[in-house]
């Protein structure tokens, strides 16, 4: 079976879920790296982005999440729009091309806060792309506004939304999802909301949270759901495998995934997701060094400068909270790759 799968990959034939599981379990890390490297060129993308997390107060308290707090709990915070505008005031000076906005499901703020935030950012920074709100957040806005999902998207687009991140997918296997985040929307609801976004012309990313209680079979089930939706809509720009950080969460296990698991996950994702062009090595979760090595295992994107990441660092991430452009370029060049600055839609802006 090993030679058969290799032949299919070399002939650009789609592999099955069962073959994806076999890849993961029966190919060693070097074999996977060689195969995955055949699917990418020497260009590695990054962008100059700034993360904005308006609040960590959340009506959901998912077991895997170290970021969220309940109202009145120590460590909880919420930012006004003015405070966020102050945080972003020097963005043009630093060459920022994207605001990445995700946060908790705040118990009190009205839907208008989220549209007003986008409007304010667009008024102050008209040339910076706004990538905002996961499918989980979109579902919540629908509930608090008594609007259908379509109405929520219409309001967000009118406010200036450009595209969406891919968070909230976690694992799209309900038997796992019901254990790690029973408060969160169902897998099908996540898929339906993302499909609706794509129908509105809103491009999104997609993610998978791995390394908690899921099996390899669960991971391939998840990847297959993403591949099927991409076949249908073509709306995914990039796939981001997110390595689970257990510290300060309610899931007790070894605090971080291993480097071998991280690299295998990147490589199998590249080989299985034949219809998603870009796969990120998200250095925030992987650490800078593993992310660099992942560029030889099928990843072609290092995400971006990030500037100040909060969510993973509440779980004691080992990476920095942000990287400079020079640091990103250094990592890419030392991996014998070509650094390419991109915009949010993967238009190439500058070669280094």
CA distance 32 to 22: 11
If you ran DSSP here, which 8-state letter would residue 6 be given?
H
Q: Domain of 193?
A: 2-351
> What is the structure's pLDDT at 249?
72
Helix axes 17-26, 2-10, angle to 10 degrees: 110
> What is the structure's pLDDT at 315?
44
CA distance 51 to 56: 14
Per-residue pLDDT of 241-262, as tens digits, reads 999 877 767 776 666 789 999 9
| CATH number for the domain harbouring residue 106 | 3.20.20.70
Contact 266, 272 (CB under 8 A): no
Contact 20, 268 (CB under 8 A): yes
Domain count, the chain: 1
> What is the structure's pLDDT at 284?
86
> What is the structure's pLDDT at 309?
47
Residues constituting the chain = 352
- Strand-pairing partners, residue 98, are 49, 129
> What is the structure's pLDDT at 303?
86
Contacts of 204 (CB under 8 A, 6+ apart): 163, 164, 165, 166, 194, 197, 198, 235, 236, 237
CA distance 46 to 96: 12
> What is the structure's pLDDT at 319?
47
Task: Tell me which residues of the chain have a pLDDT lower than 50.
Answer: 309-310, 313-315, 317, 319
Coil, strand or helix at 46? strand
> What is the structure's pLDDT at 127?
97
Per-residue pLDDT of 309-343, as tens digits, reads 445 544 454 545 678 899 999 999 999 999 999 99
> What is the structure's pLDDT at 70?
80
> What is the structure's pLDDT at 313?
44
Encode 125-158: b = buried (16+ Cβ within 10 Å), e = exposed.
Answer: beebbbbbbbbbbbbbbbebbeeebeebbebbbe
């Amino acid at each position: 079976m090993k030679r058969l799968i290799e032949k299919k990959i070399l002939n650009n034939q789609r592999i099955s879920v069962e073959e994806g599981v076999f890849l993961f379990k029966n190919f060693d890390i070097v074999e996977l790296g060689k195969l995955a490297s055949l699917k990418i060129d020497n260009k590695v993308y990054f962008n100059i982005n700034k993360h904005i997390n308006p609040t960590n107060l959340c009506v959901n308290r998912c077991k895997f999440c170290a970021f969220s707090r309940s109202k009145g709990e120590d460590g909880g915070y919420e930012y006004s729009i003015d405070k966020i505008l102050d945080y972003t005031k020097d963005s043009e000076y630093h060459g920022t091309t994207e605001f990445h906005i995700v946060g908790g499901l705040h118990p009190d703020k009205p839907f208008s806060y989220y549209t007003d935030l986008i409007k304010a950012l667009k008024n102050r920074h008209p040339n910076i792309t706004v990538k905002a709100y996961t499918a989980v957040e979109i579902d919540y806005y629908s509930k608090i506004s008594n609007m259908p999902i379509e109405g929520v998207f219409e309001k967000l687009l009118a406010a200036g939304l450009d595209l969406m991140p891919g968070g909230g997918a976690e694992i799209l296997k309900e038997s796992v999802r019901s254990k790690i985040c029973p408060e969160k929307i169902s897998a099908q609801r996540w898929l339906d909301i993302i499909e609706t976004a794509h129908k509105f012309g809103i491009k999104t990313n997609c993610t998978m949270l791995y390394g908690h209680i899921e099996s390899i079979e669960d991971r391939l089930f998840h990847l297959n759901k993403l591949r099927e939706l991409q076949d249908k809509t073509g709306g995914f720009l990039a796939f981001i495998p997110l390595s689970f950080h257990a510290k300060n969460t309610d899931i007790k296990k070894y605090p971080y995934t291993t480097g071998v698991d991280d690299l295998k996950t990147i490589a199998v994702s590249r080989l299985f997701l034949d219809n998603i062009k870009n796969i990120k090595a998200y250095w925030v979760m992987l650490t800078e060094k593993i992310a660099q090595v992942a560029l030889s295992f099928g990843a072609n994107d290092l995400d971006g400068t990030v500037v100040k990441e909060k969510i993973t660092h509440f779980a004691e991430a080992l990476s920095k909270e942000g990287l400079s452009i020079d640091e990103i370029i250094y990592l890419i060049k030392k991996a014998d790759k070509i650094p390419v600055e991109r915009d949010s839609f993967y238009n190439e802006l500058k070669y280094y």
